[in-house]
Copies of this chain bind each other. A is one copy, B any other.
Amino acid sequence: MFQLSKRVEYGLIAMRHMAARSAGQICTAKEIADRYHIPYELLAKVMQRLAKKGFITSYQGVHGGYILVRSPNDLKVSEIIKAIEEKDTVTILQCEAESPEDCIIHTTCTIKDPLVKLQNSINKVFDDLTIMEMV
């Protein structure tokens, strides 16, 4: 509970790794998987997702791999989490996640307002950390 998924952890490790490389240098999924002892197939899927979302560019073929698109200091951790989880919010409250009407509690939910404020504070924390600061 209240943990980042392995997918996100792997994604952050990969992004950090690429950021540490000199710009424009290509990285393969295999190389990263080996280096950090993480399962290749899973990492590969994460990177494919990151590629699809435009964070990294993919190159197929023998000397293929991935390259960072944006500058590390322009890459918020929050963005990467959202991309990997395919959500557009990082939400601690469950009722927020689905459509508000689905939540039976909704109308009587007394903790929502204070926790939304708390949510904003947490979002800020994730927004403020960039990949740049991780390398």
Which residues on A are within 8 Å of B, measured CB to CB?
1-6, 8-9, 12-13, 16-17, 35-38, 77, 81, 85, 90-95, 97, 104-105, 108-111, 114-115, 118, 121-122, 125-126, 129, 133-134
A81: chain B residues at CB < 8 Å are 2
Q: Complex formed: what's the CA distance from A124 to B116 in Å?
A: 16
Give the residue of B8, B77, B92, B114 whose beta carbon is less than 8 angstroms from that of A4.
B92
The 8 closest A-B pairs by CB, nearest first: A114-B134, A121-B125, A12-B111, A37-B104, A36-B108, A1-B5, A4-B92, A3-B94
Please name the residue on chain B nearest to A17 by beta carbon.
B110
Q: Contacts A1-B85, A114-B133: A108 and B9 contacting too (C-beta < 8 A)?
A: no
Q: Does A94 lie within 8 Å of B37, measured CB to CB?
A: no
Within 8 Å CB of A94, what residues of B? 3-4, 6, 9
For A5, the closest partner residue in chain B by CB is B1
> What residues on B are CB-neighbors of A16 within 8 Å?
110-111
B118–A13 CB distance below 8 A = no
